[in-house]
Chain A
Amino acid sequence: MPIGDMLLRSVDDSQINTVFPNTFEEYKKWDKEKDKLPPEEVYKALFQELAYGDKIQVGRALTRMNYSKSGWKSLIKKTSREIKKVVKKEEFPDSYKEFLIETNEKWADPTYWYAMGQMLNNQTSIYYWNAIDRTFDQELNVVQQDEDRRVYVQTWLKTLKVSIYVTVFCLILGFPVAHLLANLPLRYSNLLMIFVLLPFWTSLLVRTTAWIVMLQQKGVINGVLVWLGILSDDGRIAMVYNETGTLIAMTQILLPFMILPLYSVMRVIPKSHMRAAQNLGAKPAMAFWRVYLPQTIPGMSAGGLLVFVLAIGYFITPELVGGKDGKLIGSWIAYHLKTTLNWGLTAALGAILLGFMLIFYWLYNKIVGIDNIKLG
């Protein structure tokens, strides 16, 4: 249900069509080739729908209109005040077009009217295009967004890159730990397990802040390196408030999600398999590669998928430690959900994220097989 609702919202544009039906109807008759501005009927319909429309419904429509062009909102609000005065005095103008342009010269700016063209239907694909830095031009052709506003494509790429890196690092770091845990005697492995789980139970913010203390320019690691004479005092490495910081912190936070499934799979691999392989003449490396590793694949894939899925939607930790590189796609989803209230774009971004997940799931199923996944 919530997913269906999200998908619907990402294409829905019906609210504004209930607020300005006549304006839009007249708008469709405007011949943009012939006339620079829409005909008198459009201005008149808009005047009337603003004058007699429900205040709250108009308000909601304005939020929507502002997504298609910044400035719509205050233009209409200022105009509405003038319209209310006219209605009160019942001194209606002869030409609504002239009246509106007189109250605000922006009504003579065709770019506002072109932007209205995006909203004429009950469904729209604009949010999906916005989510990949595209928009509509006046003929409703898909074009690139203004150059200095193109942020989403690079954010998508960055999010994918970070998620893949984090997954790989988690695998590299998690595998030996899980192996150790699975093969030590129980009393040692239990103790070690607590070390794995302890940070897992600690607050996310505490761990993130701890990393900042460790990594910052005047932090623990740089301090020790300078003290040892490995770094000069002005050669301190920038390890936090950049992508390095994001990768380090996210890897540490997501590591248990890799270790735990790996551990539970490794624990049930009989030790006799390795011994048997070596007995039959395989060198230890060969035995590991041909006998042990294949049996851990279900754990690796479960852990990998888990870490990847969590990483791709992460945003609080990256924002805190990532500095200028810390805005992943999750940050934008939260921003549009809470601040701009552009739920159409929010839903489109979410739907694309879901699409990515399904693609990876499908790829995974093709390569490894979904029956092969195992959490223990």
Chain B
Amino acid sequence: MSKLLKVFLFASIIIAPFTASAVTVASWGGAYTESQQKAYADTYSDPGSIVFENYNGGLGEVRAQVESGSVTWDLVDVLPGDAITGCDEGLFEDISSEIASMGVPGPDGESIAEDMENNGLEYHSGWDCCVPQIFWTYVVFYDPDAFPGEKPDSMADFFDVEKFPGKRGIHTWATGIVEKAMVADGVDPQAVPTVLEKQTGALDRAFDKLDTIKDHVVFWSSGSKPLELVKSGEVVMAIAYNGRVGAANLAEGENFEYIWEGQVLDQEYLCLTAGAPNRDAALDFMMHASSPTSQALQAKYITYGPMRASGIPIIVEGEPWGPGGVDIMPHMPNTPERLKVSIVSDPQWWSDNGAEINERYAAWMGN
């Protein structure tokens, strides 16, 4: 009996550190989570205490976990719209004071929030519960071999099937496309969110523009697809996540060109689930993951840009920053000159209108 007890005690001592303090992070999987593993977890003081789990986005599972009271995910990697809704609904814990006091400051002492504002972002309620990760973007790319003569270089070209014949690959939901259509219709990229929010009929304008390419479109619904579509020649240009294009260029020896004009930048956040089982450890990891150095380091492994402005100089000074001695800045979406021709997607507007616009977009696709 006492021997058995000893074994139990011994076993629990061995096992306890692993079970009790492992911080579970739900993220998107694939190359993205791999880059998080390398940049955030492997450089953390206790790398073994961070466990990544894959999920497909959205707040469905988080809400189910919180409502049922059995939370297993400490941290969730989410889009800004979900950061806002999750924070408003109390699915994520309001840690604004912890972020202010514990967040790793930038080189000039700027707080996380100030650092993000320097990158052209505006406060939203997601900032109360979440720390910033990366900028990713919906960007148009093409294979230069498909255009022997003049090459497309603007959104107007993407929507001009007479000047540049051939099919276009676009995704099956509305985010990013609506904004691009506005740019093609002559709206200044930086003004697009305001025009969409304030001007009546702006959305009709976007859909009218979409009508012009409707018969020349192949729809995709998973991130690897646009690359295959362009490689196989099924389409001549496609919208894609820039990280996928970057990976194809850097790791697979492709030579794709980007059209940065009209790229739609979206944000990515790491949020603390309400009632997280390892709250304090998770909080500590969040601060590590959102430091300027961690954010810059992530760009080494995937071509997504740091959301903290102070991450950029670290990359610039560290060039060649990419794998195998390649410069990474040519693939970064948020350089100052590219930001001038970009749209920063407005998460508040999308979380207000997303359902309605996506229904309209689906109706447009189906008819």
Question: Are A and B subunits of one complex?
Answer: yes
B218: CB under 8 A from chain A?
Answer: yes
| Residues of A contacting B217 in the complex (Cβ-Cβ under 8 angstroms) | 324
- Return the chain B residue nearest A335 by Cβ: B358
Tell me if A150 and B363 are in contact (CB < 8 A).
Answer: yes
| Residues of B contacting A323 in the complex (Cβ-Cβ under 8 angstroms) | 172, 218-220
Query: Complex: how many Å from CA A216 to CA B57?
Result: 29
Tell me if B60 and A216 are in contact (CB < 8 A).
Answer: no
In the complex, number of A-B residue pairs with CB atoms less than 8 Å apart: 112
- Return the chain A residue nearest B228 by Cβ: A212
Query: Complex: how many Å from CA A74 to CA B63?
Result: 21
Which residues of B86-138 are within 8 A (CB) of A? 87-90, 125
Query: How many residues on the B side are at the interface (Cβ–Cβ under 8 A)?
Result: 42
Query: How many residues on the A side are at the interface (Cβ–Cβ under 8 A)?
Result: 42
A149: CB under 8 A from chain B?
Answer: yes
Query: Complex: how many Å from CA A74 to CA B218?
Result: 34
The residue that A148 contacts in the complex, of B88, B233, B363, with Cβ under 8 A, is B363
| Residues of B contacting A72 in the complex (Cβ-Cβ under 8 angstroms) | 352
Tell me if B363 and A218 are in contact (CB < 8 A).
Answer: no
Query: Complex: how many Å from CA A66 to CA B89?
Result: 13
Query: Complex: how many Å from CA A337 to CA B55?
Result: 14
| Residues of A contacting B89 in the complex (Cβ-Cβ under 8 angstroms) | 56, 59-60, 63, 341
Asked whether A216 and B359 contact (CB < 8 A) given A63-B85, A324-B172, A338-B58, the answer is no
B145: CB under 8 A from chain A?
Answer: no
Tell me if A218 and B232 are in contact (CB < 8 A).
Answer: yes
Interface of A is mostly: helix
A67: CB under 8 A from chain B?
Answer: yes
Tell me if A71 and B352 are in contact (CB < 8 A).
Answer: yes
- A145-164 CB contact bits vs B (8 Å, 1 = yes)? 00011110011001000000
Most buried by A among B56, B234, B355: B355
- Return the chain B residue nearest A66 by Cβ: B352
Tell me if B363 and A151 are in contact (CB < 8 A).
Answer: yes
Tell me if B349 and A74 are in contact (CB < 8 A).
Answer: yes
A252: CB under 8 A from chain B?
Answer: no
A342: CB under 8 A from chain B?
Answer: yes
Tell me if A151 and B359 are in contact (CB < 8 A).
Answer: yes
| Residues of A contacting B57 in the complex (Cβ-Cβ under 8 angstroms) | 338-339
B331 to chain A, nearest CB (A): 27
- Return the chain A residue nearest B232 by Cβ: A218
Tell me if A341 and B364 are in contact (CB < 8 A).
Answer: no
- Return the chain A residue nearest B81 by Cβ: A339
Query: Complex: how many Å from CA A324 to CA B220?
Result: 8
Query: Complex: how many Å from CA A171 to CA B80?
Result: 47
Tell me if A324 and B234 are in contact (CB < 8 A).
Answer: no
Tell me if A70 and B365 are in contact (CB < 8 A).
Answer: no
Tell me if A60 and B90 are in contact (CB < 8 A).
Answer: yes
A82 to chain B, nearest CB (A): 15
- Return the chain B residue nearest A67 by Cβ: B355
Ordered by A's residue number, 29 sampled pairs between the chains whose C-beta atoms are within 8 Å are A59-B89, A66-B355, A70-B353, A71-B352, A77-B88, A77-B348, A148-B207, A148-B360, A148-B363, A149-B360, A150-B363, A151-B366, A155-B362, A158-B366, A216-B232, A217-B234, A218-B232, A319-B172, A320-B221, A323-B218, A323-B220, A324-B365, A327-B172, A335-B358, A337-B58, A338-B57, A338-B60, A340-B354, A340-B355
